[in-house]
Amino acid sequence: MTHEQWYLAGIMRSLHRYASDGLVVVIMVHLLRELSLGRHRGVRWFSWVTGSMVMIMVFIAGISGYWLVWDQLAQYVAIVTTEWFDMLPIFGEPIARNFMSPTALESRFFTLMIFAHISVPLIALAILWMHLQRVSKARINPPRGLAVSVFVALMVMSLVYPATSQPPADLAMVPAEIGLDWFYLSLFPLLDTLPGNLTWSMAGVFMVILFSIPWLPPLKRAKAAKVAKVDLDNCNGCSRCYNDCPYNAISMVARSDGAAYKREPIVDPAYCVSCGICVGSCPTATPFRRRSLLSPGIDMPDLTIKKISDQVKTQAMGLTGSSRIMVFGCGDGPNLSRIASPSVGIVHLACIGQLPPSFIDFVLARDYADGVVLTGCNENSCSARFGIQWTKDRLAGERDPHLRRRVPRDRIKMVWAGISGLGQLRRELEQFGEQLKDAPPMALQQTTPLQQTVNTVKEGV
Ligand code: HEM
Ligand code: SF4
Ligand code: SF4
């Protein structure tokens, strides 16, 4: 393929090989990212376990691909793999015997390998579909620029370093030197040299650790918060919670309480990660109501809208100075207790997406603070996937519920600093404090231009 028809088959072969190597890199980066963001614990064990299954299948598919070439590398891979499996007392006849003599190698065996090389990725695809069942709006296609650049890079590599085969397999001799594909075959030298019982034990221990990672310490999130709870008395069936939930945990079903609305949300506890984003989307979650009525259509039992409203009021009471700032943030961003001061109050949320925009209006309109800061994870690594994005969209008026237009935008700041961004948050708070000193008085900012003219005329009179 590489030499006789390099322009079509050869390039396709090289693209196939380099893209497969790239897949290993992408899977590893994705695995480490999810691990570092802690997105594998609690009910998210499902994504971790199905992801691990896909990863193993990708390796099986990649290794079986090397057999198909039937060069000296394939011979090495075939012998090492079959000898390794022969160490298990499950096969009546040693399968490595297939490769002991040229006559013993049957074409049936290659048919089996081709079948494996095609069926294993198809099974992996089915598991990948399951992998994505518990996340909503998963971004499957990369941005166009990234897709084009990766394709061009792979094409250039395919033209400059076309994939080649090694000398043909010769079962009469043992290959002296072979080049390995380190992406798929890096463990083969170990399988080849270490005793079989040791490598099988190592493989067993690795598997047990891999699949039990969601339940291993540190169990920071093991004491899972309670899942979102619907209160039909305050729900109008608008579906915003359903649209905003990043984990497919909410379904809209026929109304069961006889109210005039058609539908109602139900929460599946097996899917809910307790991020509170649904509360931030609910039109009935507003602090402007009387305390006895502060009960939205959907709420987090551990951190209710009432409790958030109480935090705001308690913090506001302690604030002094000419630029008082109320910071709303989550536990996955910078350590908020380290920035509390007489001029900075802290309100804790499950995720920044739990904050209904009306709270910002509430803080400024009631003069609980002079400015509001929203903080949390790094911009592209929200622990609850869409907390930052939905918050930005709601404040920009691109997603319900909108932040009212009367709220002065120069009194709001977003600092997506991440868990290691305490220094950045401190610096930005300081700058924001200075900026607030120069801001026009709130009373003027919250009136319309017409009202301002009326006020000015009145003042003149
Ligand atoms: C071909 C392999 C894989 C593909 C194509 C894939 C794809 C995806 C995609 C598209 C998402 C949704 C991400 C988002 O929009 O936030 C996701 C989530 C996730 N993946 Fe994978 N994945 C693969 C393998 C793995 C592996 C090997 C692991 C770990 C062992 C893993 C662990 C996870 C976890 C824990 C989540 C859930 C994130 C959350 O709950 O927020 N994935 N995967
Ligand atoms: S708390 Fe988060 S995961 Fe649970 S239903 Fe609400 S938005 Fe969905
Ligand atoms: S967003 Fe609130 S009002 Fe709308 S369906 Fe969900 S719980 Fe009900």
Cα of 295 vs centre of ligand 2, distance in Å, is: 17
Name the closest-CA residue to atom 38, ligand 1.
39
Cα of 229 vs centre of ligand 3, distance in Å, is: 11
Phi then psi for residue 349, to 5 deg, are -130, 165
Name the closest-CA residue to atom 2, ligand 3.
282
Nearest atom within ligand 3 for CA of residue 237:
5
Q: At what angle do helices 11-36 and 144-160 cross, to 10 degrees?
A: 130
State if residue 63 touches ligand 2 by the CB under 6 angstroms criterion: no
CB 56 within 8 A of CB 50: no
Cα of 238 vs centre of ligand 3, distance in Å, is: 5
Computed over every residue of the chain, the mean pLDDT equals: 91
State if residue 238 touches ligand 3 by the CB under 6 angstroms criterion: yes
Span 217-236, pLDDT tens digits:
876 544 567 999 999 999 99
Find residue 265's DSSP bridge partners.
252
Q: Provide the pLDDT for residue 217.
A: 82
Q: Would you list the DSSP string of 82-123?
A: HHHHHTSTT-SS-GGGGGTSGGG--HHHHHHHHHHHHHHHHH
Task: Tell me how far the alpha carbon of residue 109 is from its chain's centroid.
Answer: 41
Going by C-alpha positions, the residue among 187, 425, 200 that lies closest to residue 329 is: 425
Helix (H, G, I), strand (E, B) or coil at 419: coil
pLDDT band at 323 (very low <50, low <70, confident <90, very high): very high
Span 110-132, pLDDT tens digits:
788 889 999 999 999 999 999 99
| Ligand index nearest the alpha carbon of residue 141 | 1
Q: Provide the pLDDT for residue 454.
A: 46
Cα of 272 vs centre of ligand 2, distance in Å, is: 5
CB 188 within 8 A of CB 28: no
Lowest-confidence region among 8-17, 103-112, 298-307, 371-380: 103-112
Cα of 224 vs centre of ligand 3, distance in Å, is: 23
Tokens of 88: 């298990």
Span 14-67, pLDDT tens digits:
999 999 999 999 999 999 999 998 899 999 999 999 999 999 999 999 999 998
Percent of the chain's residues with pLDDT above 70: 92
Nearest atom within ligand 2 for CA of residue 276:
1
Does residue 168 carry a pLDDT above 90? Answer: no
Nearest atom within ligand 2 for CA of residue 267:
5
Q: Provide the pLDDT for residue 219.
A: 60
Going by C-alpha positions, the residue among 376, 359, 363, 357 that lies closest to residue 414 is: 376
Phi then psi for residue 456, to 5 deg, are -65, -45
Q: Provide the pLDDT for residue 90.
A: 79
pTM of the shown model: 0.86
